[in-house]
Amino acid sequence: MSDNEGTAAAEVDFNDDLFTCANVRFIHFIFPSFSRSVYLFFSIVKIITLIIIIIITRESLLLSIFYYLTSSSFPLPLPLPLSLSFIVIAQSDVVTKYKIAADCVNIALEHCITDLIKPGKRITDICVAADLKLEQECAKYYTKKVDGQKVEKGSSIPCCISVNEQVSYNCPDNESKVLLEEGQTVKIDIGAHIDGYVAHQAVTIIVQGENAQTQITGKQADVIKACIAAQEVAARMLRPGKTTNEISVAIEKVAKDFGVNLVEGVLSHNMKRFAIDGNKIILLKKTTQEKADDHKIELYDVFGLDIVMTTGEGKLKQKDEKETQIYKRALEKTYSLKMKASRGVFSDVCFRYPSFPFAARNLEGGNSAKAGLPECLKHDLLIPYPVLYEKAGEAVAQVKTTVLVMGKGNDRITKAIEMMQQDVSSEKALVDEELVELLKQPLKPPAKPRKKK
């Protein structure tokens, strides 16, 4: 996994929204002496620099060590104790990359909603066209190598179109002939990354014909409005000092006010570079089988806030394993595959999709490549993303956004809520006084005008 971040040093402003976190860099110069005294000297230097990182970046000891060991722009030719490391705290372009990824996924989703979601359209064609649009947008940025290496970019999750009681990850293969029908509810989920920095989002809309402006009412309106309200509440509560459990409780209050239920198994993770499933989890619905540790929200956290609600019980089931078409490599698993087809598939995955989910139809070899999937799945080398269902006839809605926890307020960089422009009218409303007051506050306070010198 290449490291393509910029290396130019700049003055650090921890209150500036363009600054996400201290980007620790190391410039290594190999010292010619290997004596014991030199080794001791460099060990002392390393300890001092770690202390500096902890003080300046306000990070934990383990995370600081991680920065120290992994942030080099090029590999060490000798073991770390034998190399002299000068630390450069640089103003990073990480936020820029997050926002570029968000711009790309916003354009792709807008294209999907405006031009592709039509009665009679084949779902597979919609997914393929949305993914193509996303790749085209990502290709416009970072066209030149950085530090001599190509900047990775593209899809972080293929476009999924889940219809009616389908809740997630419906990404049909090329043989599917399923078409959209007028009046169906669709959840569109899509994500992009630039240099491993991810922007995800999902919306819920109703399939309508040309020039149709039918008002959405009843239980479908209730779940859509509830998801939007929960997103607004969670985005405002996602501030340093708050905890993941506190946010879960607030989301539960929103669902109660709208008379709908939360869906089991839905997790909102913090995201890091090339990682969409960090260890901080906002669990949408706690059960006796599923719980999550409580974590404090910290400055510069990035969360994919995923809200899914239903008029049903929220207990999902898988109908057909063959519908599963989204997979992700399990990084911690290893196994010596026996079949040639399996080795070919896994090699392709490791080369083209080492970190993010992918659609099986995009594997090299097409249908023949799918013959290698079963052995990879049997030995847990791939993580399947199954298509799950609520009970037939129940209304389901999903709204997902990407939120950056910044010093001067949060940045919701994806525009899912703004894109849900259909006329939705619900008789239900948020009544919890504390949350109503919270929603009166801006997500990000307006910038104060700078005084002229």
| Residue in the block written with tokens 């399996």 | 342
* Mean pLDDT, the chain, whole residue set: 84
- At residue 445, the pLDDT reads 83
Give the start-to-end residue ranges of the domains of the chain: 23-91, 95-319+396-439, 326-385
**pLDDT score for 52:** 67
Q: How far is CA 324 from CA 132, 306, 360, 363, 419, in A?
A: 21, 20, 9, 14, 28
- pLDDT recorded at residue 44: 79
Residue 289 predicted with pLDDT over 90: no
Question: Which own/partner contact pairs does 13-18 have at CB distance under 8 Å and 24+ positions apart?
Answer: 13/91, 14/407, 15/407, 15/408, 16/91, 16/407, 17/95, 17/406, 17/407, 17/408, 17/411, 18/91, 18/95, 18/96
What's the rounded Cα separation, in Å, for the pair 344 and 363? 10
| Lowest mean per-residue pLDDT among 49-53, 374-378, 408-412 | 49-53
Distance CA 288, CA 286 (A): 7
Average pLDDT of the segment spanning 412-421? 96
Distance CA 381, CA 444 (A): 42
**Calpha distance 188→160 (Å, rounded):** 6
Taking Cα atoms as reference points, which of 425, 116, 78, 430 lies closest to residue 254?
Answer: 430
Cα distance between residue 92 and residue 332, in whole Å: 29
For 131-181, what is each residue's pLDDT tens digit?
999 999 999 999 998 888 899 999 999 999 999 999 999 999 999 999 999
Decide yes or no: CATH 3.40.50.720 for domain 95-319+396-439: no
- Range 118-131 average pLDDT: 97
In this structure, are residues 263 and 285 in contact, taking their beta carbons and an 8 Å threshold? yes
Query: CA 353 to CA 358: how far, in whole Å?
Result: 7
Nearest to 200 by CA among 300, 140, 269, 249: 269
The beta strand positions in 142-266, using DSSP E, are 153-163, 166-168, 185-194, 197-206, 261-262
Q: Which of 146-150, 359-363, 395-399 ranks highest by mean pLDDT?
A: 395-399
pLDDT digits (tens, 9 = 90+) for 200-259: 999 999 999 887 778 999 999 999 999 999 999 999 999 999 999 999 999 999 999 999
Segment among 6-10, 110-114, 153-157 with least mean pLDDT: 6-10
| Over residues 425-448, mean pLDDT | 92
Compare 447 and 395 and report the one with higher pLDDT. 395
Closest CA to 300 of 338, 332, 273: 273
The sign of the CA dihedral 344, 347, 353, 357 is: positive
State what percent of residues in the chain have pLDDT above 70: 80
Give the pLDDT band of residue 10 (cuts 50, 70, 90).
Answer: very low
- Report which of residues 54 and 34 the model is more confident about: 54
Architecture of domain 326-385: Orthogonal Bundle (1.10)
pLDDT band at 364 (very low <50, low <70, confident <90, very high): confident
The answer to whether the beta carbons of residues 443 and 235 sit under 8 Å apart is yes
Looking only at the bridges linking them, the beta strands covering 302-310 and 388-389 are unpaired
Give residue 365's pLDDT. 79
Give the integer Cα–Cα distance in Å for 402 and 270.
10
Q: CA-CA distance, 26 to 52, in Å (whole number)?
A: 14
